[in-house]
Amino acid sequence: MLRSRAGTRIRKRRKREDVIKYVVVGRAGGRRLIIKSHLNSHPSTTSTRHTTQRLDTTSPPRKMQRHLKETRGKRTTIRYIKHKLLPRSRPEFEPVYMMQSTMHAAVLNSGTQIPLLGLGTYKLRTYEELYKSISAALDAGYRAFDTAAAYGNEAQLGRVLRELLPKHGLKRSDVFLISKLGPEDHGPRAKEGCLRSLQQLGCEYIDLYLVHWPGVADLEPTDPLHAKYRSQSWAILEELYDSGKIKAIGVSNYTVSHLLELLGSCHVPPAVLQMECHPKLVQKQLREVCKEAGVHFQAYSSLGKGALLEDPEVKDLAGSRGRTPAQVLLRWAVQQGISVLPRSSQPQSVQENSRIFDFELSNKEMQRLSDLNCDTRYCTRDSTSIR
């Protein structure tokens, strides 16, 4: 029998078929040990029950204390142990890391701060386009910039930042760079892909590096190799994270099943999941799983590729608040702790999109926008079919 100071009992079990995997991720609120568990049934069974439980204790059980420093944020397996559940009146789960949002940033599970507002650069490929947009963004207070190997603009973006940062009295460490591993670099080539991005950007490190897509280029959606290459890619990202070349790692376009698969096998949990999200695609289930696991949710296409700017409900609400439709849509996201990456090649729009931290939407207004949800995707590619 194990017993913590607070009296939480943990009984040993001697059934070979039961294995509980705990991800020790630290404390929330200074007192509660948050532990993610996966109860795996007999190896012949394919089903896995994914739950998050909490030990309400001032001190973890002694046999687990020695694991904390070594496995914080990593996956460890403790066999034949079952923990006592909390009373049902308590919440079933809570965020592992409360997204301690300041006005402009959230804290990731890696300890890194991520700005809630960043500039997306998809389709901004020329030096002139990037220079104009990034210059306006820096003037407006943006400190995060999102790119990807697939965008084909990493080299130009790096060049523009090297030219503009000194003019704004800023250093490399003052901005947050996000890039992504291309689908063609999945698996054994992942390290080569990341190092190529570092070289293109002209940086010693990348603040956040994401697996851009859960699938491998040129494979059929149902090909079982997708899962194998995803696992290999993540293992390489973990190595690069440990080396310091990447400050935080995450994923993009992962569905609930892809995310749970990763959480059940990783040593370093993803810090961020980036996905299309806006009032017509609220991603409720995916965001709930991210919240359970302490994964920060980041939205792209927050404006629905411009289509939502013409939505009657959005325009009416924006008009009643004296705001632009874009500001209302972006505020809907950041008010929920979701970071956003609006893209624009027009300096005026870039600056207008930054003015989202000086007002709040009421609960009624937030619900009015959320009620627009109809699972409409404006990005043509859909990752739900990827095995």
Instruction: Tell me the chain's radius of gyration from C-alpha atoms.
Output: 22
CB 340, CB 142: distance < 8 Å: no
Q: Which of 22, 131, 142, 151 is catalytic?
A: 151
Closest CA to 299 of 146, 157, 179: 146
Give the whole-angstrom CA distance, residue 34 versus residue 24: 7
Q: Is 254 a catalytic residue?
A: no
Amino acid at 294: G
Contacts of 160 (CB under 8 A, 6+ apart): 127, 130, 131, 134
Amino acid at 273: L
Measured between alpha carbons, how far apart are the two ends of the chain, in Å?
42
Closest CA to 181 of 269, 110, 274: 274
Residues labelled as active-site residues: 151
